Amino acid sequence: MSLARPLLALCLCASALNAQAQRARWDIDTSHAFLALSLSAINTDPSGHAVTPVLIVRCRNSALQLYLATWSVLSGDSVTPVSIRWGTAAPEEVAWAPSQDHTAVFAPEPYRFLTQLLTSPDFSFEVHPTDASPKVITFDARGLDSHMARLNAACPRDQATMAAAPETVMVDLGAGKKVRLSADHVIVEARLEQRPEIIFGGPAMTYPDFLRQAGVQGRVIVQAIIDTMGRAEPGSVRIVQSPHPGFEESARDFVLHARFRPGRIHSRAVRVLVNLPIDYKIGQSNPYDVRRPWPNEP
């Protein structure tokens, strides 16, 4: 019994170290004239024949680059379509710049993507190789925060961008997750002091006549990032659910032209990813009543 307890303790310690090593998957490379961080995908090819995709954050000549090396030739010419899913949120369709050989794609806003990683470390890409079916690549970015000081020192943001951004603060998002919140962060799940609330809507939405006559009704869910000024960011607005495509244009225009009271954490306005439900019901004059509070669930 006296020997079993030390052995058990050693096993527990080894398990904890292995778990910690699995979480800290970021590798740092300073062997070149630049600093680079690399993160391997966690869903590898079980056959072992394919090369594992890698996410790379590189500071070269004081310029930050962030790109995904897929090792597959991707579709697209001047831009490459990429779908990104943050945690359990709906996928986000974006366009990234391809490398010369079209096997890698570069983030158009690396600083914004990097700060999003600190908030939502579980994420995945869907890319489209030219000679194969779509490929989903999954990552776990935990451990990035331990490298941020070194990365920021090697690749500081330009002064104009820094001057435009308010001072950052530490925010507890619950479940033991703490992040340094900056103007680039998008809050997906957080305990907000104040949730985004619509103040007044955009153009009046009319019920399409052909859908009314056909008896089609239902709920459209519009996803958008509400910025710190209370406006939906145009590039973020997308339809995640709709009973019929005929409803989508008016619902999208409504959200784009609506004004919101921004979400807040520690009395500070933050960018928030939200799902806005709009119900189209026959006999209802306005699918969305701007007087009602922001809904808790879609």
Q: Where are the domains of the chain?
A: 25-156, 192-280
17-26, 121-130, 167-176, 205-214: range with highest mean pLDDT: 121-130
Residue labelled with tokens 């790379």: 56
Per DSSP, the residues of 172-191 read: E-STT-EEEE-TT-EESS--
Mean per-residue pLDDT over the chain, rounded = 75
Question: What percentage of the chain has pLDDT greater than the value 70?
Answer: 70
CATH number of this structure's domain 192-280: 3.30.2420.10
* Cα-trace Rg, the chain: 23
Buried b vs exposed e over 213-239: b needs ≥16 C-beta within 10 Å?
eeebbebbbbbbbbbeebbbeeebbbb
pLDDT tens track for 60-78: 877 889 999 998 899 877 7
Across 94-98, average pLDDT = 85
CATH number of this structure's domain 25-156: 2.60.40.1880
What's the pTM?
A: 0.49
pLDDT tens track for 166-203: 333 444 444 444 444 455 556 553 456 677 888 776 66
